[in-house]
Structure 1
C-alpha cells in the first residue's frame, strides 16, 4: 500500500491537547501554555467550556459530522497558532488519527492526557495489557459480540448515556447475562461515579453521557462456545442448508490464510460462513460477500451481526456481474456458481500478483472445470472427505458426507 500523501507541514505545528474530565486543573503546564498561546482552539462544546478565561483564543466547535470537516477547518486556520482539544489520549480512538491522516504526523505536536482506559484500569486494578478495549463510538453494537469469551475483561467505550443498557441487553441475548458490569462515569473529574450490576439484571437508568463500561465476561449455560480459530459450530449459523460445513470450512480458511488488513471476496456467500470467519480472524480484515438470492443475502447480514462482524459488506446480485466495481481483493473464495460463464475468469483477472484463489465444489461438472484450471495455472487440487459416526441398528458406523473438491492457487507474476 502506498504511503498517504500529505500537504507540506505548516510552519507552526498543530498542538493537540488531551483533556480529561478534570479540565484545566488536570493539564500539565506545557499543555496550558500551548492553549494560552493559541490563536484558535478547536474542540467539542463540552471541552471548550472547560477552558478558563485566560485562554483568549477563538473557540471553534467541531461540527457534526466531525470527520469530513477536518480538512476544511485546518485549511481555514492555516498559518495561525492552532490548538485542538481531544478527550484523554488523542491517539487512542481520538481525533489525533484524523489529524495525522489529513495533515501528516510531522505537522502535529501531541500532548496526551491519561486515557479513560488507563484511568479505568487504575480504578479497577486490572492489568491494561490483559484487558481488551472495544469502542462503540460510531460503531455497531453487534461488534462487541466478537470479544465475548468466558473470563475475559473488556472495557467498552460508550457512545452516549444509553450505551450501558444496550450492552447489558446484548450480553443477555448472547448468553452472557451473568457478566458483571462496572459503569464508570466522568472518570478523573469531580463528578466521577461508579455503579455496579449484572447484564441480566441491569438496574441503572441512563446517566452521564461521558462513561465507560467495564465487563467481566461470564457465560450462562445457553451461551454457544465460539472459538477464536476457524470452524465455528454449524449451529452458530442460521442456514437454509447452503453452508460450508464446519470441518471443510476450517480447512478452507486455513488455505485462504487471512492476514491483518486483507480483503476477501466470498463469491456465492450462502450463509456467509467463510466471509464471517475471515473477518473474525482479525479486527482489521475486510470482506465482501456476493450472493444472488436476496433472502440469503439478508441471512448473511444477520449471521454476521450475531457473530460479531457487522462490518461484512453484502452485495446482492449474480456473479460475475456483481463483482464489477468492488475493491481489489487479496483473496477470493468461490463457494457457488462455479459454472457461471466468465466467473473464474473475472475472479482471476481481479486478483493482484500474489493473491490467492480458493474454490470448492461437490459436483462433477464443477470438478471438471477446476481440473482444467489446475492444469492451466497449477496450484493444489485436493479432495476433502469427512465421515461421522452414526447409529446402525444397535451398532455404530460411518456416514460419509459428500466429498468436496478444492482447488487453490497463488497468482504468479506474468512471465517475460
Structure 2
C-alpha cells in the first residue's frame, strides 16, 4: 500500500542549517517540488524576505536539495499560507512518490493522516485517525480537523503549539488508499492545541500560481472502491482476541451471548464451540464497524442495503433439525442464500469481499438474536 511509504514524501526545511518546518516532496513534470506553509518562508507576519542561498529541503534519506524558486510571493502566502517550491533535485527523481490532490474531504467519516516533525524530535512522525471538522470563516480553502488531544501534549501533559513547532507544512493525506492523495498542508495549531484541532489549507489555491495538477473531487472518494478495500482489511484486522473478550464481558451483550451460546451448542460439537463463537463475535464487530464507518459514507448504497436486509429478514429462519450436522447444513445454506441475494441487490456497487462481510454479519446477527433458530422435531 502506498501509505506505507509516506516517509518518502516528507521534507524538512532548513534555514542556515536550522530546522524551520515540514514540507511535502513530490515529482511533477520531471522536476522535484515541495509544498509547505507560507509562513515557513515568509515568517509569521509574512514580512520576512527569504534568502534562497540559505534555504534547503532535506528528504527522507537526509539528502539536501537547494530551493531554485518560490512560487507564491508574500502577499499570496499571507492570503493562503501555502507556497510551492521548485527544488534542485540532488538525487534520482524516481526516489520520490507521485502525489494526487483532492478538494477538502468534508465527509467526517474519512480517516486522514499526516506526517511531519517536531522541532525537538530527531525523526518525523505519522499521525492517523484525523477527521474533518469544519471549514473556517477566514477562507474557503482553510479547514479544521480533529486529532486526539493527547498527541498535542508533551511529557509534562501540557498542550501547546510552541513545543510542537515544525509541524507547519506537514501534508494531510487520505488514509488507507492505494494512492497517496493529499488534501492539504497544516498551517496552525489553534488555541495551542487545547481544542484538539489542527488547521489545514487545501492545495487548490496553487492553481493561481500555474500549478496544473488534477484535483480529485473529494466527494468521489466517499465510496472509492480502492479506498474501501484497504479500509475493509483494516477493520477486520482491528478486532483481536482481546476485543472479543471485552465484548463477551460487557453486560450489555449478555442477551446476545445467551442466544449465541445456546445455538452454537445446537450446531457444533463441544470442541469446536469456542472457536466458532470467537469467529461469530468478530464477524459481528467487523460488520457493524464496516456499516458505520464505510458503507454509511454513501447514503444511496446504505439505504439500498438496509432495504434489502429488511425484506430478507421477513422470511422465516427457523429450521427443524434432528442432528448438529443437519443444523450446520441449514446454517451453510442460509449463508449462501443470503450472500447470493445481496449480490443480486448490491453487486453493481460493492466489491465481492464487502458483500461477503455483509452476508456473514447478517447471519451472525441472526444467530445472536431470536431471528435464526434450530428446532427439534417432536
TM-score (norm 1): 0.29
TM-score (norm 2): 0.32
Greater RCO structure (CA 8 Å; 6+ sep): 2
Q: Which has the higher helix share?
A: 2
